[in-house]
Amino acid sequence: MATYTDKTVWITGASSGIGEALAKSFAAEGANIILSGRRVDALQSVADQLPTDALVLPFEVTDYSVLESIVVNAWAWKGRVDILVNNAGVSQRSLAVHTAPQVYTDLLNIDLIAPIWLTQLQLPRMVEAGGAHIIAISSVAGRIGAPLRTAYSAAKHGLIGYMDALRTEVSGRHNINVTNVLPGSVATNVSRNAFTADGSIRGKSDQAIESGDDPMDCAKAILEAVASNTPELIFASGVELDLAKLRHSDPEKLFAMGAEIGAKISEQYEAGNDG
């Protein structure tokens, strides 16, 4: 694995889950870490555990009026950002037929528009610096249509599309590499913090998430993908990995399986068995 000594890595959603795991993993490889999120105490707790320099830079990802100044502060810290990790986001657990339109607007702002803004505001600096690496944490739900996640799937599909298109413009010409990461079930708070049909926070997790992969294992795979400049990493196993692969190899089979699985999950959800 490549060393990240003296590299500056900026991670959004860094207070827990995959973001926290990435902060610890990059720092263990010598990187200096910028930690962003909303919870200052949680970010500081992560910073206190790191063996390298860390900057706690809290902000709300959809507060677009302050993003430019946040970018200025991040780049001023060490003079550059070598790796940007767009990890902050929120998931969803609700059937489309019951979900308020505002939930779609709010979730798309958080999971799609916000990372696009944060990336766009740094592209000129990355070009001037002679290169960088952008990591976008999407999801297997960004490759397949996942039940209870219509807004989330839309945002994560969109994030992959933006990053894939961006790669075509900046990788060869400006040495700015882009890696899309598509995790399956990872043991984080993603389901507990998910939006429900009215936009409220769900407050409980899923069995699949609770028994999911260790975030540190996911972080290790991401560091390896960055070191090898892998354009896309699907970090999943079992049926999640199979479905993600079917999206290109046999889409008709995927759609048939999706309809069957979705009907079952939807019925269970409406019956109150949504864990």
Containing 167, the helix (H) or strand (E) segment is: helix 150-174
What is the rounded average pLDDT of the residues 223-239? Answer: 97
Q: Is 162 a catalytic residue?
A: no
pLDDT band with cut points at 50, 70 and 90 for residue 269 = confident
Higher pLDDT among residues 171 and 270, named by residue: 171
Contacts 24+ apart (CB under 8 A), 17-20: 17/186, 17/188, 17/189, 17/190, 17/215, 18/87, 18/137, 18/183, 18/186, 18/188, 18/215, 18/218, 18/219, 18/222, 19/85, 19/87, 19/88, 20/46, 20/215
Q: Of residues 4, 104, 152, 162, which has the active-site annotation?
A: 152
Residue 190 predicted with pLDDT over 60 = yes
- Split at pLDDT 50, 70, 90, the class of 1 is very low
User: Which residue ranges form the domains of the chain, and what is each CATH number?
Assistant: 8-238 (3.40.50.720)
Asked whether residue 207 carries a pLDDT value surpassing 70, the answer given is: yes
What average pLDDT does range 138-164 have in this prediction? 97
CA 171 to chain centre: 20
Tokens of 134: 């952008």
pLDDT over threshold 60, residue 220: yes
**pLDDT tens figures, 236-263:** 999 999 999 999 999 999 999 999 999 9
Looking at the predicted structure, is the pLDDT value of residue 201 above 60?
yes
Taking 80 as the threshold, does the pLDDT of residue 225 lie above it? Answer: yes
- The reported pLDDT for the residue numbered 130 is 98
25-80 pLDDT, tens digit per residue, is 999 999 999 999 999 999 999 999 999 999 999 999 999 999 999 999 999 999 99
Query: Mean pLDDT across the stretch 140-154?
Result: 96
